[in-house]
Structure 1
Amino acid sequence: MTQASPPVLDLSACDKEAIRTPGSIQPHGFLLTLSHGLEVLQASASLAQWAGVAAEAAVGQPLAQVIGEHAHARLAPALSAPLSARPFYLGTTTLANGRHFDVLAHEWDGVLIAEFEPTGRAEPADFRQLYPLIGDFLLKVNEAASVQSLAHLATRHIREVTGFGRVIAYQFDGDGHGHVMAESRDPSYQSYLGQRFPESDIPAQARALYTLSRIRLIQDANYTPSPLVPAMNPATGNMNDLSFAALRSVSPVHLQYMRNMGTLASMSVSLVVRGKLWGLISCHNAEPRAVPFEKRTACEQLGQILALCIETREDASELQFRLEVRRIMVSMLGGLTKGADFVDNMSSVFPELLRFARAGGVAIVADDRVLTYGAAPSHAQIQDLVAWLGMRGHVEVFHSDRLPSIYPPAREMMAVASGLLAMPISRIHKHYLLWFRPEVIHTVEWAGDPRHKPAGPGDPVQLSPRTSFAAWRETIRGTSLPWHSGEIELTIEFRTALLGIALERAEQMAELAEELGRANKELEAFSYSVSHDLRAPLRHIVGFSDLLLESAGSEDSGKRERFLRNIKESARLAGKLVDDLLSFSQMGRAALRPVTIDMTDMVDACIDKLGLEAHGRNIAWEIGPLPEICADPTFLHLAMFNLLSNAVKFTAGRDPAVIRIYAEQTDQESIFHVADNGAGFNMEYVHKLFGVFQRLHRMEDFQGTGIGLANVRRIVERHHGRVWATSVQGEGATFSFAIPRQPDIQ
């Protein structure tokens, strides 16, 4: 069958399961919750099976009374020493009934948690097998040419150590689906190599726990959970948090999932790269299987080494990719400064533009002018696409590898434009640089049909895993090759450089155009200081790029990373200055196009756009009734966004931050106010507030370029309005502007 994207399984309720506080453990051992004085606060019901003491009788007793004086003397010194959240192997001890146990302990949730796993030996675990396993793996690491080869090597080693029937390694893709890239198995086991497991197979809270606790074993999926007695942690009054407990009981849904898969024993080793869950090594066995602590430790160590190898390989590949893209970018920039016509300059480097983004087609849009190269949509389709991008608001770069799924008209052009990378060159004008990638039709093989059949009408809602793992193929349409993060970041830097070139052209034109009036005078007054501020970062970019080119063959990755960091910081600084200054310079000459504006909708749009800046903040937005006015929507949106952005920035130290937007009307004007409870400013300097590059606070306290409020004043005055501000320092500020109700806009 054919469809655009994998359906979502009907397992959303899994996200609500309290998997960290199951209230029970797996019964192949027993668990004691201890006070720091080594008194038993809780015991698992399995204590009776393994130690011959009822859990209820053990609660409140000294540890020695429960496990015997000999075992107590063996464990007490280690239990009295500081313990961390991760289980620590205390050794092997013999209880009063003569049974031997490996003991793990950790401190978590306000108590000590001791876990006892039975073993057939009286002596401590032998970790000598850890060294040949790790040593052999390290010897073969350099022979592996790819991450996939490393994963194959790891699955084979882990299967040899544990004896599991099948060991697979899979990586999570951008949508969270697991792609099986390596496998070692007994011939009697079904192969999953190359298949995908849907994202919904592992709920979000389970992924978080995999990141926190790197290894998990289930000896028998048919086990009966052993409850903790009493159920509540005496230290907290809540269910015990068993996040790090090796014996922690697992979700009944997952146990059913295992049985549906024909797996009665499983072990997983997390592959955590740069602090995020990159993938898993998953071990399956058709029969119950125990894995002693020393073997689990060996597998966990191998998983950590594999994760480090993956990170190193990915970093090297990423650096090489970025260096190549940067070489192309430097070459293009050299060709963009030769002619006077910006669009003609861009069209002269069309082949390099295609190579820069690994695209099939590229287009330059300058208002009504469209130039294309390679496989691109028609000019009319491109103009419609640019209009749609304009409605989404200004962003540094827009990218999608599934354009038809978010822009329905793209279905008519997905053969050449299933992927889009769009870069606005101006905040005011309809100037865009667009890259297109063609559709890549591909077939995905799932380990079972990822579509879940929900309960029928009237059926009770039950949480249940899927039951089939037979291979199911799906053909994906309307997608392109994904955009690399390096391509996106370097496109932002490229945009910064283009804006610098455009600003230089704008400054040259400003010197010749008398109609710019006060805008020209302002630009002339600060042109030399601004020139240094803007060009210095751009020179850094070119200089460090040259150094990168010279060090391309060097083994010193630290030096190259330092060059990249310098380039990135310089580009960001230059980009912000160039964006704000170019926007300011354009305010004086771009024609206004007044229409009737619903100010409530405009304010809502600005608040949505501020989502990233306000993320995690406690901000109370109080929006009063706002009238409709006649003004240029693009300009007024920028003015309102600058005022609201300032309010968010200067209330950073307030919890809650309160930002009020309200209006009043007279016969002549519509007056709007943006009030906040932030840092405020000293009214002695209010006359400097709306000037270019005027700051009333230190850069270290509140970052900014000092151009935003100058833009607000210019926009309002272009509408023959007025702007002002009042404040009590330390208590907040109110910024106000008035727009004539009968505009006379030229």
Structure 2
Amino acid sequence: MQTVDLESCEREPIHQLGGVQAFGCLFAFSNDWLLSHVSENVPKFVDQTVDDLLGMPAADLFASDCLHEIRSRLQWLQFTDASERLFGVDVFGDGRSFDIALHKSEDLIIIEIELSDASGRMEAMSVVRSMMNRLVEGGTFSKFLQQAARQVRFVTDFDRVMVYRFLPDGSGEVVAEARAPQVDSFLGLRYPAYDIPPQARALYLRNHFRIIADVNGEVSKLVPEFRYDGRPLDLSLSVSRSVSEIHLEYLRNMGVQASLSISIIVDGKLWGLFACHHYEPKLIRFDRRTAAELFSQMFSREVAKREQDELLAVEAQARELHDRIMAGISVEGSVFDNLKGYLEPFMDVVGCDGVGILIDENYASIGLSASSEEVTSLRKLLNRSAASKVFSSHKLSSLLGESDFTLRIPGVLAIPVSRRPRDYLLFFRGEVVQSVTWGGNPEKSVEYGPNGARLTPRKSFEAWKENVTGQAEHWSKSDLKITEIIRTTLLEVILRSVDANDRLHQQANQRQDTLIAELNHRVRNILTLIQGVISQSRHNARDLDHFTSTVNGRIKALARAHDQITQANWAPGALRDLLENEVRAYSDTLDLQVELVGVNVMLAPQAFSTVALVMHEMVTNAAKYGALSVPEGKLRISWVLETDGAVSIAWLESNGPAVTPPRRRGFGSTIIEHSVPHELQGESQINYPAEGVRASFKLPAAYCELGDASESPKLSIEDLPSPKVISVGARKSKVLLVEDNVIIAMDGEDMLREIGFKEIILANNVSSALNAIEANEFDLAILDINLGKETSFPVAELLLKMQVPFIFASGYDDTSLMDKNNFEDVPLLSKPFSKQSLVEALGSEMDLDD
């Protein structure tokens, strides 16, 4: 093995290592399509030698259809620094299927191929859309990152997937992790900046995906090794590019046999990485790599949005504090007396360990803070900084020298609250290393390589700890922006506290001009931001939870309507189905309270979403404030087909709380009253008598038609037939989930855990399911009937013999297969199924609150 100089890793040209990994073969063509370079493993891919191939025209090497497709894709790359991919291509015209990656490297056309398996190919866009849907369902930022790691692990099937975030000083932290049970945790680990040197970071910005299929795998060198001008090839965008030996040794020392890294880029900067480890050699298929990379790009946009939303929320908190201070200050009181009572609220707004206020010779503080003597030396430093500028440092010893004070409080952020003499509001932070711990087992033994113990995660973490001694967490962009808002507040406090003489009057005018300019600038920025990111719904949101709940409900209502239309190939949808979906989506306890009466009216797709959104608002209001908010309340929705073909809908609530007209008109009221008239040219009217809400809607004939009466009998919801159920008793221990689609399996696993099952074992085919049954005792099984080229009936037969209750799931409506195999009494869940439909199939013993 080659020994490398650890100290020279920052100078290593990792994009010019001149080789590819064994799973890929690289061809480099000149602009006139003559082969100028090829990897030495090419005989494994095509029955010709390197000497035979060099100088060969591409048309003599590649099949004509393949070359045509490659040239077309290169057209897309004419003005971009990126790569393109092709899947399942017969490259050599011999019937073999390959996946292709191509890009331009200076004046060379780089084409990489690897063998392709078309069976079970993943459709990247559909998978990524489903992955993103799970991310945006809410929760804290930490849970958001954790869910992202979990999604990437499901797609890649690596033993460990980490979200690694870069910090302002270039160091990094593992902020989220998804891993196999037998794998140690790295969560919370931090690493010094030089663990990922500058050239590696630059490469992550250009090429968002890097895979190492086998750390001990062979490397195929390029022939010839250098270009005609003596320089090595730039393989920055290569997918099979060989890897730095120093990084391979790092992985070996960890016991890792395969890895992949996916860039997370926010606002054009490298925010972090998805870092994936596997403890055996592993090459995930090109389509899965593509899905993971596409997910990372979508995830990066969501990170940017969440960080912006978080900044907006904190700014709002700072503005609220501004209003509190301005409402509570005494004009007659001094600035010091006015502000010292707000130190704790200041500490809540800015993440810190302590706060102090220094005005004239008066000093007060809470939490971790400097003494009066220490503040004197700090003030001298602050007075040398620019006037009216916020001062920040995360390593005070670099400015004041090492002392007990600078080691105890290395982080200081100071807001000047006057110009002359200088007074300050001070925020303090303690040493960062005190709050960071090793996330795995620090005593775990490792085998060191020829470059020593430094190349291990534990030693890297210890190196980071040594490197950050005497440092605090960096003051973030959010911290600095908030302090600017606070500075504006402090300026206002001062303006209210000055004496009304000519000298102070002049000072007040000067400060007021500055304040007005700052406030105008801030207001313009905020208005521009609001215009860009806040939708109509936010105008009436009371808080973030209310906004999220409201928009989530409206989006789900539209999604349900859209699903109904698309399931019918964009054909008209039944009004009754729309109403039932809205009622059932809100709660599973409303069925006995709601009566639906009317003929089978079908709504055109153009009207379906509009009516769904209106009915969603009506049901939501009824469940929150109206008849459906109490058990005895009743709701009757009836509709008739008029002689002119229009449909009139009547809404009648009764037995609910006394109704009072709304005191304000929100976006929901706008939807109810104006959507049908504005979008469909129909009519809407809603009244609020004390005995119950009354509403009427008229849909023009152009959007309505009468369906087959046999398709939709006049039944109220409580008359619907009961589904087949099974009994699993009160025990909720172990479930077998047989499903060949990874995304559906993830959904099912989440639902079962939410219901209360403790352990869910997944199987994607009959063989793995039978093995799981042999090794475990199950309380329940859920079986997807169609498993690619086989069915789950052999598993069902075994479960039947063992008297283990089970449920079928299927995307097909035809149940003839079940009947033919004597499973007609087994409950069937139609895909896509919800948690509620799963609970209903499990019978009354299943209590969601268990």
Deviation at 1:145, TM superposition (A): 1.2
CA 1:510–1:315: 2 relative to 1, 3 Å: same
What is residue 328 of structure 1 aligned with on the other side?
Answer: 321
Deviations 1:35-85 (A, max 9, x none): 333222222222233223333442322112334667546645555675543
Q: 1:342 to 1:433 in 2, by over 3 A?
A: same
- Shift of the 80–229 alpha-carbon distance from structure 1 to 2, 3 Å rule, reads farther
Amino acid at match of 1:86: A
Pairing partner for 1:283 from 276, 287, 291: 276
Deviation of 1:488 after TM superposition, in Å, equals 2.1
Map 1:497-576 to 2 at 5 A.
498=490, 534=514, 536-537=516-517, 540=520
| Preserved CA contact (<8 Å) 2:187 2:440 | no
Q: Which residue of 2 aligns with 1:119?
A: 116
How far 1:13 sits from its partner (Å)? 1.9
- Equivalence for 1:685: none
| Aligned residue in 2 for 1:466 | 454
CA shift, 1:27, in A, is 3.0
Counterparts of 1:507 and 1:170 in 2: how far apart (Å)? 54
CA distance in 1, matches of 2:336, 2:482: 20
Cα distance between partner residues in 1 of 2:521 and 2:323: 9
Of 405, 411, 416, the residue aligned with 2:404 is 411
Q: CA contact under 8 A between 2:319 and 2:485: conserved in structure 1?
A: no
**1:340-739 equivalences in 2 (<5 Å):** 341-347=334-340, 350=343, 352-357=345-350, 362-366=355-359, 369-375=361-367, 376-391=369-384, 396-403=389-396, 407-408=400-401, 411-412=404-405, 417=409, 419-426=411-418, 429-437=421-429, 441-445=434-438, 466-469=454-457, 483-495=475-487, 498=490, 534=514, 536-537=516-517, 540=520
Deviations 1:389-430 (A, max 9, x none): 335565712223554575456624876x55422123455534
Residue 59 of structure 1 corresponds to 54
Tell me whether 1:238 sits opposite 2:235 in the alignment: no
Q: Indicate conservation of the 8 Å contact 1:29/1:50, yes or no.
A: no
Match of 1:741 in 2: none
- 1:306 aligned residue (296, 299, 312): 299
- For 1:116, the aligned partner's letter is I
Q: What CA distance in whole angstroms lies between the structure 1 residues aligned with 2:65 and 2:137?
A: 50
Distance 1:182 1:478, change over 3 A: same
In the aligned structure 2, how far is the partner of 1:223 from the partner of 1:107? 26
Asked whether the 8 Å contact 2:163–2:175 carries over to 1, the reply is: yes
Q: Amino acid of the residue matched to residue 114 of structure 2?
A: E
> Separation in 2 of the partners of 1:414 and 1:148?
30
Structure 1, unmatched stretches of 5+, are 1-9, 456-461, 514-522, 561-746
> Is 1:43 aligned to residue 34 of structure 2?
no
Alpha-carbon deviation of 1:320?
0.7
Contact 1:51-1:67 at 8 Å conserved across structures: no
Q: Structure 2 counterpart of 1:420, which letter? A: V
Offset, 1:138: 3.2
Task: Find the aligned partners of 1:508 and 1:231 in 2 and give their Cα distance.
Answer: 81
Match of 1:208 among 199, 202, 205: 202
Deviations 1:315-373 (A, max 9, x none): 22221111101221243345668238554554565555455546565444455x22314
Q: Partners of 2:330 and 2:524 in 1: how far apart?
A: 19
CA 1:184–1:422 in 2, change beyond 3 Å: closer, same or farther?
closer
Which string of whole-angstrom CA distances, capped at 9 and with x for unpartnered residues, describes residues 595-622 of structure 1?
Answer: xxxxxxxxxxxxxxxxxxxxxxxxxxxx
Check whether the contact 2:152–2:292 (CA below 8 A) recurs between aligned residues: yes
Match of 1:271 in 2: 264
Question: What does residue 141 of structure 1 align with?
Answer: 135
Map 1:64-83; keep pairs closer than 5 Å.
Answer: 64-67=59-62, 72=67, 75-79=70-74, 83=78
- 279 and 81 in structure 1: CA distance in 2 versus 1, 3 angstrom threshold: closer
In structure 2, distance between residues paired with 1:252 and 1:399:
40
476-485 vs 375-384, greater mean Cα deviation: 476-485
> Are the equivalent residues in 2 in contact too, given 1:405–1:478 (CA < 8 A)?
no
1:245, distance to aligned residue in structure 2 (A)? 1.1
1:701-733 CA-to-partner distances (Å, cap 9, x unmatched) read: xxxxxxxxxxxxxxxxxxxxxxxxxxxxxxxxx
Report if aligned partners of 2:259, 2:278 keep a CA contact under 8 Å in 1. yes
From 86, 89, 95, the equivalent of 1:90 is 86
C-alpha distance 358-329 of structure 1, shift in aligned 2 (>3 A): farther
Q: Distance in 2 between matches of 1:103 and 1:326?
A: 54
1:189 corresponds to 2:183: yes
> What displacement does 1:504 show?
9.4
Name the SS of the counterpart of 1:53 in structure 2: coil
Could you list the runs of 5+ residues in structure 2 that have no partner in the other structure? 541-850
2:99 aligned with 1:108: no
Return the alpha-carbon distance in structure 2 between the equivalents of residues 538 and 102 of structure 1. Answer: 56
Equivalent residues of 1:442, 1:477 under 8 A apart: no
Q: Counterpart amino acid of 1:89? A: R
Cα 1:94/1:493, change in 2 over 3 Å: closer
CA distance in structure 2 between the partners assigned to 1:512 and 1:311 by the alignment: 45
Cα deviation, residue 296, structure 1: 0.7
TM-score (norm 1): 0.60
Q: Is the 8 A contact 1:404 1:411 kept in 2?
A: no
**What does residue range 150-161 of structure 1 map to in structure 2 within 5 Å?**
150-161=144-155
Measured against aligned partners, the alpha-carbon deviations of 1:132-182 in whole angstroms (never above 9, x if no partner) come to 532432342244513333333333343333333332332233343333333
Q: Are 2:13 and 1:18 aligned?
A: yes
Q: 1:153 to 1:34 in 2, by over 3 A?
A: same
Q: What is the count of residue pairs matched by the alignment?
A: 522
Q: Which has the higher contact order (CA 8 A, sep 6+)?
A: 1
- Separation in 2, partners of 1:512, 1:86: 61
**Amino acid across the alignment from 2:304:** E
CA contact (8 A) 2:388 2:416 kept: yes
Q: Aligned partner of 2:332: which letter?
A: G
Residue in 2 that maps onto 1:31: 26
Counterpart residue number, 2:285: 292
Structure 1 residues 350, 285: closer, same or farther in 2, change over 3 A? closer
Partner in structure 1 of residue 241 of structure 2: 248
Secondary structure of 1:445's counterpart equals coil
User: Aligned equivalents of 2:134 and 2:410: distance in 1?
Assistant: 41
Return the alpha-carbon distance in structure 1 between the equivalents of residues 344 and 251 of structure 2.
53
CA distance in 2 between partners of 1:229 and 1:557 (Å): 61
Q: Following the alignment from structure 1 to structure 2, what is the Cα–Cα distance between the partners of residues 96 and 433?
A: 74
Aligned AA for 1:207?
R
Instruction: Name the % identity.
Output: 28
Q: What is the rounded CA distance, in whole Å, between the counterparts of 1:359 and 1:192 in structure 2?
A: 26
- The letter of the residue matching 1:244 is L
Counterpart amino acid of 2:517? P
Once the 2 structures are TM-superposed, how far is the Cα of residue 215 of structure 1 from its aligned partner? 1.1
Corresponding letter in the other structure for 2:438 = E
What is the identity, as a one-letter code, of the residue corresponding to 2:374?
Q
Amino acid at match of 1:88: E
Q: Which amino acid aligns with 1:421?
A: L
Cα distance in 2, alignment partners of residues 220 and 464 from structure 1? 21
SS in structure 2 at match of 1:444: coil
AA at the equivalent of 1:328: L
Distance 1:360 1:466 in 2: 33
State the distance in 1 between where 2:312 and 2:145 align: 22
